Structure 1
């Protein structure tokens, strides 16, 4: 039987070593560092687990213009591509690789490092977060990848990344929002503050469109999300979502962030019991829930 991964270990081979590679790659310099070697662009490939999913065309064009004049000042960090001899996978620097192709460079400077899958993902997240330009959804997806693939906890993530646990938890909650709301975040039409006000709301998509159209502030968005639902008459036996106390709503959001699906709790006033409803969107989500309940 294959050994199970040790979930209590620290992140990768130690963030101090990983940070050293990233800092070396991102530190400003007035002249190019000597890379390990120059590699043809067609032998360099993006990391399929790259946490950043969106690249601004305008920003890439601007970087390409700079590369045409000054070249690539900061070499890419790459590792030998698994199962593809003489090819390399980008660990850090995909924006430079993309811009180099726009600038029609035939080769790119690289620093070759031996990283395993865990370290590749960690370095990619660190590099993007250090540059402070990763949108909230991509950042949250990166954290979720580390937690799901390698068993890291929110506490581990917070300590290793120099973030508070609440910051990690709030980001992960964003992944429970409807796909269209997540896209608004990715496109910069909503901020993380706007989106947090919509987590767990049954009309998140409609409210998001309203916030964008009316150009509401975060505080105004929070007030909008707290307004009672406009319904003709509550059905018998149904709990009005607006009547739930703050603790119940918070528990719903915590569970939704942890399970990755919508959670509704209907607690019967004056009793110790109630009902909890889980809504899954795909059969894969249902399988994940069954495995979690079985302890697997």
Structure 2
């Protein structure tokens, strides 16, 4: 059975789309290969040795947030560790080492209980973070918020020139990253996670909503709630962003009510015709029972106040 030919305009569009997808795939593959080539060059002329994974610690500056490494674990289990990681002798613990790059491989090898193939180099703090940042830039697998936090941590310890060299960004973007991370509590970012695919404009929008709320306690409580934590990281971001957006209509109430300490009390949803207050019975079972018990008395108190007001 012969297929129907597409009109010329649709054919051209399909061809362009196929070409764009192919180019994007080729570019991604080329970046990955360049990153591996950088690592191989660093290993050239150096002795690759096997180290006990338990004697290797992460870099003193965190770049990645915890994430899924199942694919990497499966790959190393089947093919072994193809590219060595780069470490330096630990500056404070004799017999231990510190990672410059290869954190995900280290986690995978720890999980598998295998020794680590590594190149050991004497690196200063500056050399370590530059190697760490440049390797991540080539792979482009750090999310925006991971890169921003990395920049923030580096900026507290090194000159702007070192940070710019490590991240390959200009001063303007560096300043924006630092200001954004300063605007959001660390525990709030941790609760959301790396949020792959979420860029600076969306994180900036979230930071503005947290600022408008006056106190970050409600935002932190929402992000840590069981409902949100059950979601994947990018969906946690979307849920928190949606939860912090103001409700339409007059007499708006905060969507999340929390104690001054940040403990979640209830979620409030209101429209023109009704007001709904939802209390998480898992988080606060006694409080939920207390509210139900006191509700009739609260109504009577409200009614008495109205009668007194009308009688004056």
State the TM-score bracket (shorter-chain normalisation): 0.5 to 0.7
Shift of 1:83: 3.8
* TM-score normalised over the length of structure 2: 0.51
* Residue 80 of structure 2: aligned partner: 71
How far does the alpha carbon of each residue in 1:175-203 deviate from its partner, in whole angstroms, 9 at most, with x for none? 12134542355242893422201335231
For residue 203 of structure 2, the aligned residue among 191, 195, 209 is: 195
- For the Cα contact (< 8 Å) 2:100–2:132, is it kept in 1? yes
* Residue 14 of structure 1: aligned partner: none
- For the Cα contact (< 8 Å) 2:77–2:112, is it kept in 1? yes
- 2:177 pairs with 1:171: yes
Cα 1:131–1:142 shift into 2, 3 Å: same
Shift of 1:26: 6.8
Cα 1:53–1:40 shift into 2, 3 Å: same
Cα 1:37–1:191 shift into 2, 3 Å: closer
- 2:96 pairs with 1:87: yes
Give secondary structure in 2 for the equivalent of 1:51: coil
- Aligned ranges for residues 199-214 of structure 1 at < 5 Å? 199-200=207-208, 201-203=211-213
The structure number with the bigger radius of gyration is: 2
Cα 1:159–1:90 shift into 2, 3 Å: closer
For residue 39 of structure 2, the aligned residue among 25, 28, 37 is: 25
- For the Cα contact (< 8 Å) 2:48–2:84, is it kept in 1? no
Q: Distance in 1 between matches of 2:80 and 2:236?
A: 42
Cα 1:34–1:135 shift into 2, 3 Å: same
Q: Distance in 2 between matches of 1:141 and 1:194?
A: 16
Shift of 1:120: 1.2
- For the Cα contact (< 8 Å) 1:137–1:174, is it kept in 2? no
Cα 1:158–1:119 shift into 2, 3 Å: closer
Q: Distance in 2 between matches of 1:128 and 1:229?
A: 48
How far does the alpha carbon of each residue in 1:119-175 deviate from its partner, in whole angstroms, 9 at most, with x for none? 21222222223322223333222212322212326xx64466332433222221221
- 2:47 pairs with 1:36: yes
- The alignment's C-alpha RMSD in Å is 4.3
Cα 1:213–1:99 shift into 2, 3 Å: closer
Cα 1:126–1:185 shift into 2, 3 Å: farther
* Residue 264 of structure 1: aligned partner: none
Which consecutive unaligned segments of at least 5 residues does structure 1 have?
1-19, 233-296
- 2:118 pairs with 1:133: no
- Aligned ranges for residues 225-240 of structure 1 at < 5 Å? none
Shift of 1:93: 0.6
> Is the helix fraction higher in 1 or 2?
2
* Residue 245 of structure 1: aligned partner: none
How far does the alpha carbon of each residue in 1:210-233 deviate from its partner, in whole angstroms, 9 at most, with x for none? 9978958x9x999x57x999679x
Greater mean alpha carbon deviation, residues 36-45 or residues 115-124: 36-45
Figure out how many residues of one structure are paired with residues of the other and give that number: 202
- For the Cα contact (< 8 Å) 1:45–1:88, is it kept in 2? yes
Shift of 1:99: 0.5
- 2:190 pairs with 1:183: yes
- For the Cα contact (< 8 Å) 1:184–1:190, is it kept in 2? no
Which consecutive unaligned segments of at least 5 residues does structure 2 have?
1-33, 229-234, 254-312
